[in-house]
C-alpha cells in the first residue's frame, strides 16, 4: 500500500514539530492537496498523540507514519498509536526487523549503495536518500543503474518545488518534504498554500 500511495502522489509530508492540537487541521489540508503519506518525526511534541489523531481523522487511503525512529521499542509505540510507516534516518537492522515483524512499512535512511542493498535485504519498501542536497541527481542515476529494478528512492532534505525536476529526470518516484512544507508556527492555511505548490510541481512532472 505504501508504493500505491506514492503512485497516487509521490510526496511525503514530514511534520517535524507538529503539536497534537494542530494535527487534525494540518492533516486535513495536506490530504485535500493530495498527500497520501504523512510522517510525524518522534522528536516532535507528543508525537504518538499526533499520530493517533491523524490516523483517526484521515481516510484509510492516507498512510500515517513516524520519522526519526531509532529503537525497536519506538516501533511498538508507533504501531500502538496507529502508525503504519517506520521512517528512519539510518538503517539499523534491529529497527528494520522490528518494523517488519510488526507488519509496518519500512523506509530506512541510506547514504551509500552498500546501505541501500543492506536495507533492501532487510525488506525495506522505500529507500530514503538522506541528505538529498549533498547527493544530488547524479547519485540517484548511478544508484538506480545497479539497484534492483523497481527500487523506490525518495530524496529527503532541501527539496523545493523548483528543484524536483532534475531528480525526477534521474528516476526518483517520490520526495520527502520537511521545512519547505511545514515548520512550527505555520497555520493550516499557510501549509495549504505550500502543499498546493509542491503538488502542482509534482503533477507537472508526472
* Distance (Å, whole) CA 59 – CA 45: 24
Among residues 46, 79, 128, 183, the one annotated as catalytic is 128
Q: How many whole angstroms separate alpha carbon 148 and alpha carbon 165?
A: 23
CA distance 79 to 136: 33
Residue 195 C-alpha cell reads as 502543499
Given the residues 28, 39, 183, 190, the one annotated as active site? 39
Query: What radius of gyration do the chain's Cα atoms show?
Result: 16
Query: Do the Cβ atoms of 83 and 53 come closer than 8 Å?
Result: no
Q: Give helix then strand counts, H and E, for the chain.
A: 9, 9
State yes or no: is 128 an active-site residue.
yes
Q: Is 28 a catalytic residue?
A: no
Contact 39, 65 (CB under 8 A): yes
131 upstream amide cis, omega within 30 of 0:
yes
CB atoms within 10 A of CB 45: 13
Which residues are identified as catalytic?
A: 39, 128
Amino acid at each position: 500500500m505504501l508504493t500505491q500511495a506514492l503512485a497516487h502522489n509521490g510526496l511525503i509530508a514530514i511534520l517535524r514539530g507538529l503539536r497534537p492540537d494542530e494535527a487534525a487541521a494540518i492533516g486535513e489540508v495536506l490530504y485535500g492537496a493530495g498527500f497520501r503519506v504523512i510522517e510525524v518525526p518522534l522528536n516532535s511534541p507528543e508525537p504518538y498523540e499526533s499520530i493517533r489523531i491523524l490516523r483517526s481523522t484521515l481516510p484509510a487511503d492516507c498512510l500515517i507514519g513516524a520519522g526519526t525512529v531509532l529503537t525497536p521499542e519506538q516501533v511498538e509505540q508507533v504501531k500502538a498509536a496507529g502508525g503504519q510507516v517506520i521512517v528512519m534516518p539510518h538503517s539499523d537492522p534491529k529497527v528494520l526487523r522490528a518494523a517488519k515483524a510488526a507488519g509496518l512499512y519500512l523506509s530506512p535512511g541510506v547514504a551509500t549503495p552498500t546501505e541501500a542493498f543492506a536495507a533492501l535485504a532487510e525488506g525495506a519498501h522505500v529507500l530514503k536518500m538522506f541528505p538529498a542536497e549533498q547527493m544530488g541527481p547524479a547519485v540517484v542515476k548511478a544508484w538506480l543503474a545497479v539497484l534492483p529494478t523497481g527500487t523506490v528512492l525518495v530524496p529527503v532534505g532541501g527539496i523545493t518545488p523548483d528543484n524536483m525536476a532534475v531528480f525526477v529526470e534521474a528516476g526518483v518516484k517520490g520526495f520527502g518534504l520537511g521545512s519547505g512544507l511545514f515548520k512550527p508556527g505555520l497555520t493550516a492555511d499557510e501549509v495549504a498554500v505550500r502543499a498546493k505548490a509542491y503538488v502542482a510541481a509534482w503533477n507537472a512532472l508526472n
